[in-house]
Structure 1
Amino acid sequence: MMVINTSKLDRGEAQRTLSSELDRHPLIILLGPQGSGKTTLAIELIDSRVGAIFEGRVRSSQPVILLRRDAMDAMQQMVVEHRKLPIKDVDGVIYADVSMYDALKAAIEGVFDVRELGEDALVSQITELAGDVFGVHVIEVVADSEDLRERRMNRHKDATARLEMLLLKEQRFGVESNIWGIQGARVGDIISRDSVAPYLSGQISRTPEDFSRAIPTKGLSLEECLREMISIAKNDELESGFLVLHREGEQQAISDILVGSRNSIIGVTMLELYVGYRQRRRNLQDRQVYVPDIEGTVELIHSHMQGDFRLSDADCGGAERFGIIVSVVEPDGGVDSTNEARKEELRQILWW
């Protein structure tokens, strides 16, 4: 697999490398940890050659799919399925032709938004669909650990500029795009794709600035950390969370308790900030493509203030993809976890 290391190549070199690959390969999938530069490289590359740019909305490591315009035009003319519709007319059953292009978009959406699978499933499905005709070129975009960390902590600062560039290029070149993951940009701007306004404090986003405060966990027992979270949920009506490391039969808090603001999604935010950049590459045949680069098992424990459920799709998807445990504690002391044994342990700790 080809690798582009954005810590070792300057921006111009990385762009020229990717541009050269697009000349040779009409369908490219960019994989790599969040902060490596996949989306930025893809947006900067958009020109008259590009027909579509898609993003698989998997938490913390969105893969990017680049489709050359000539391949997109050809895909739109290739029928891969005569789909039976659940309606009839006077002549009987109605069928609809599904183009390869429509099937490609459905595969991207289905893998990440519906079934919460990982990058290996995406590569497999796209290869099965279009590999024989167009080939599928997979490129891993990587960066050094410190660069990943710094970019992830500061990426919201250039969110407006990146979104403006994307919208201008979409309009100028007629590119189809589903990119939503520009962290720190106004959600309304991303949805409308009309113009870009300054970020507002009431806009839901996932950036470090969404934390209202951090509470040190040094010297606190696990039970004390859990009860602090419950107190914050009850008294302040805010979500909070922290990370626990399980190793050699012991468990230890390895982060502060981060308290969210009114508009933050604390569980997803902590996954992105604390786990996403601690990743090492694994073989594409593995279901979990990225795992925490930490010895032992990482657990994210966070409170939950919204909805009728405890574990969200983001919790379950993040736990599966990163090989971690995600546990949720509600203001009333209710507990849920992606690990049944851990769920019972936390119940015993909070039993009163």
Structure 2
Amino acid sequence: MKARQHDILCWLMFLLEMYTLYLFMLPFSIYAQSLPPAIPIVTMTLSAALLYGVILYKTKSVKPALALIPLVVLIGTGVGYHVYVSVLLALIMFWRVLSNLEDRREETHELKVFAIAFIAGLILYFWSYYIFDDSWLILVLIFVHFLFTLGIRAFSIITSSQTDEASKRRNFKWMIGTLLLASTAAFLGGSVYPYFKQSFHFVMYYLTLGLSYLAIPLLNFLALLVGNTQEQEETTPGYYVGEVYNFVHQERNDVLDFRLIFWTVAIGLLCALLFFLYKKFIHSTFIGHAASDSTTDNLLAMPAEKKPANPFSIRSRLTPENEVRRLFYKTEAIFAKKECGRKEFQTVEDWITSLSMDSSAKQTIIETYHRARYGDKVINKQELTDYRTAIKKLWK
């Protein structure tokens, strides 16, 4: 996959995630019998993509992009969002722009995003069925999300460098067939929607009726506990059934107070973002600051050192390979203080072999370090644990 194609895929994924975020904003406007306005979220999304993206591309640094968060918040308040909502959206957009740009893998996660949106959308549809007159619009939004996901998946398959031409053509035909099948299903679904609505009413009526009859003994028992003084005819099964059914079908004009839910979600997301930034700027500051040993290795005998795919990647700083290098640099610093550190003319093998310790531990350190620095294979958790144990033996 070419660099420009990968950038296009990253921004398509960002737009898909922001569309999913729009779906999660639906509960806050359903009681007003309308969908959330699209222009404010579109304006804020495009502004965040433009501001954050340009700075990250030009500077290859996160700190200048962080300074633009207040500007995105100002844009959010200008298009009508409350200042706290603008802050939350600006942080989420910054997080997703950075995560998508730093992920240099060809594999994408659009199917996971669609699965989340699909499940949440169906739950929202059934929840809002009796309180939102145009609840069918939620199904339309889910279907548009599906088409968007399918388009991203097709683009990813076509531009992938890990797939041969025959597989690309086969996968593309499968995508086209899926699109036609989904479009036909959507057309038929829209045609039979009135019948589906009547069937849903029928099922919900008898489901409510059955649950009401099952709950009558419990309701009578609770009425006795609280000292019910109502007339006997109001405690008959028909009374409870009618009350429950009327509760399901009544026109609800009251607006639920979502402030507690909103603040809970907002605080949780804010804590997650603060932890994300902590990992970026504080936890990873000790990594990669030791002196490079490229001048002391035999460069003619060794392959070129692997470099991070992205200059501001967070994921690469937390990999097992980087942990191996960090522990080795720390070992060099410890032995340098003891005046038995690595000399300028010594390679890694010569220096480790000259130290007094178990030969198997020496071999573990040498092999794991060279795999981390020069190899292409991933170091698993067990190998990292063995390497840590050998390093600690060396420190003693």
Larger Rg belongs to: 2
Q: TM-score range by the shorter chain?
A: under 0.3
- Which structure is higher in strand share? 1
TM-score (norm 2): 0.21
